[in-house]
Structure 1
Amino acid sequence: MSPPPLPEREDIALLEPFEGLGLKDIRVVASAEDAASAAAALRASRVVGFDTESKPTFAKNEVSGGPHVIQFATREQAWLFQLHRSEFHDTLATLLGDPGLTKAGFGLSSDLSLIRQRFGVEPQGVLDLDSEFRRRGYRRSVGVKTAVALVFERRFVKSRKATTSNWANRQLTDAQLRYAANDAYAAIRVFDALGLRA
């Protein structure tokens, strides 16, 4: 039996917006102590939404120095790790390499290779939700926007301006915080909606 058809862009545009996390539920990790308490909350959750952001490259042979931000979300809140801060890189590397923490996200292959380059750590416990949709019979790649429309009948709003913004900035804007947090948050919500287990 073939799966329900994927919604087209025009159909998605007509849907009500997906309710994401607000700024009060988004933590920017600012110290080793913040990182330790974030790690404890994430491990307690056992499965988290996961994504990274990198400063975009526009020149032909320019190499990305990313990721610049790594974000994790539970069902209640999100934590953003800005990688210009080196004081919590060890905590972050341990989280990324922890096979007991399921990290669910969309289209993660380039994120994972950048993490390997930057940290020299092999990410464990990673679940690319795109491959879960393939397993269920979808031939086309299913990204976060399509997945949210399919499982929640909601429109996931992604600002082009935030996508191509400078993620290496020391001070992220409110729009960047919401964008990064909700990429990870949408992933954990889709994971739950698909009935997946950690």
Structure 2
Amino acid sequence: MGFTERDRTIAATVAVVGVGTAAVLVALCNKRKIIQRFRGPLYDQTIRIVTNAEECQQVVGTLRNHCRDYRILGFDCEWVTEKGKRHPVALLQLASHQGLCALIRLCQMKRIPPELGELLNDPGILKVGIGAIEDAQLLRSDYNLKVESALDLRHLAERCRVPGPYGMARLAEKSLGLQLDKHWRVRASDWEALELSERQLKYAANDAHVAVELFRMYADRVLRCGIFTSRKSWFDSLMTEIECFLDQRYKDPPKSQKGATSGGKNGKKKLLDSKNSVLELKRSMSTRAKPLYDNCIMTAPDGEVLCTCDRKKAEWYVIKELADIVSDQPTYTIRLRFEPKGRAVGEVGKYYQTPKENKCVVCGEKDSYIRKNVVPRDYRRHFPRECCCFWS
């Protein structure tokens, strides 16, 4: 049966309308990405400073309305540490996907409204950030505010195979192309001050806002949202995918060791073959398989060498955004972002600045030696003279 001219016209019209509708849907889905490309991920940021219970109730209501559309809140905390003692959390940052950044100054509030506790305790709303679990624990201990469904973004970054380290500044730069102000003077500034500076406000708001944008990016990689899939159904499916990470502290992955994951049941069987073999294993004094000292260099903010340290410790400072990498080759060198409590002084200071040799202090053997945490007296007399005053 042939088609008439009228049938062809109708079919062509329907096809054009269908293609046009699909194009509009795609454009709407990509609208935010297009705007972000030209104006940056934080283009819609609005900062609200909260200092009393009434303001807190209002901003919590607004955040809840925003969460109806996208159940995510960027989450972070700031506090003051004085003489090594931590004060209660001074500032709570919450950011919505619409760019509202609520800076709740807990240190100035005489009363915390129950609405804030209900928002934080709502398991249907994700609170995302770097170190979110630790921040949640501080709120619980300081103000009895329970936080449910906290998500450390480093879990998602690892799942999406984003190269580490996983500090907020590094992730923002790698994933969003943003340069965050992470200067140690701002990080360690007075968050209990009567008035926060513009730099402090921007620093605090960015931490929570960037957390939302990082989640957007990583969540889209974990589970793609189809054009005809509602945001609610997509989010429900996403929650199933990432449920295992909720309220779970992130642990830095251990350095891979050769044969650590091999062996399976056979390896366990060999280890637990008999009581004698277990005791033998515990009592054996195996020599080190790799050098003890990495001799990485740690420097003060002005560049003065403070000491040498192992690679893992140096990387920890970088991951926690307490230091910057100065060089990676030939020697891994970091510069602290804060002024240390002490510096290398005198002969003892020179000892800590000097690279350590990986050899036995008694016979000089470099290929076979054992580290002792408590050094026997017979060995101590072979130490450098300036170190003989130490007893461990």
TM-score, with length taken from structure 2 = 0.42
Structure 1 residue 21: Cα displacement:
6.6
**Pairing 1:15-164 to 2, within 5 Å after superposition:** 20=42, 25-46=46-67, 47-57=72-82, 59-60=83-84, 62=85, 64-74=86-96, 75-84=98-107, 85-137=109-161, 140-164=164-188
3-state SS of the aligned residue for 1:158? coil
Letter paired with 1:154 = L
Map of 1:188 onto structure 2: 212
2:157, 2:218 within 8 Å by CA — same for their partners in 1? Answer: no
The 10-residue stretch of structure 1 (154-163 or 35-44) with the greater mean CA deviation from structure 2: 154-163
Structure 1 residue 112: Cα displacement:
1.8
Structure 1 residue 148: Cα displacement:
1.2
C-alpha spacing 1:70/1:21, structure 2 compared with 1 (3 Å): farther
2:93, 2:208 within 8 Å by CA — same for their partners in 1? Answer: yes
Structure 1 residue 137: Cα displacement:
4.0
Q: Percent identity?
A: 26
Please give the per-residue CA displacement for 1:138-191, whole angstroms capped at 9, x wherever unaligned.
584512111112212232222322101011223211111111111000101111
The 10-residue stretch of structure 1 (133-142 or 95-104) with the greater mean CA deviation from structure 2: 133-142
Q: How many residues get paired? A: 177
Please give the per-residue CA displacement for 1:44-86, whole angstroms capped at 9, x wherever unaligned.
22211110001134x24x2x12211001112322111111213
Give 1 or 2 for the bigger CA radius of gyration. Answer: 2
Structure 2 residue runs of 5 or longer lacking an equivalent are 1-39, 221-234, 240-392
C-alpha spacing 1:147/1:139, structure 2 compared with 1 (3 Å): closer
Higher relative contact order (CA 8 A, sep 6+): 1
**Pairing 1:2-21 to 2, within 5 Å after superposition:** 20=42
Structure 1 residue 99: Cα displacement:
1.3
3-state SS of the aligned residue for 1:49? strand
Map of 2:255 onto structure 1: none
Counterpart-to-counterpart distance in 2, 1:81 and 1:173 = 15
C-alpha spacing 1:113/1:36, structure 2 compared with 1 (3 Å): same
Structure 1 residue 88: Cα displacement:
2.9
Counterpart-to-counterpart distance in 2, 1:69 and 1:95 = 16
3-state SS of the aligned residue for 2:103? strand
Counterpart-to-counterpart distance in 2, 1:41 and 1:67 = 23
Letter paired with 2:106 = L
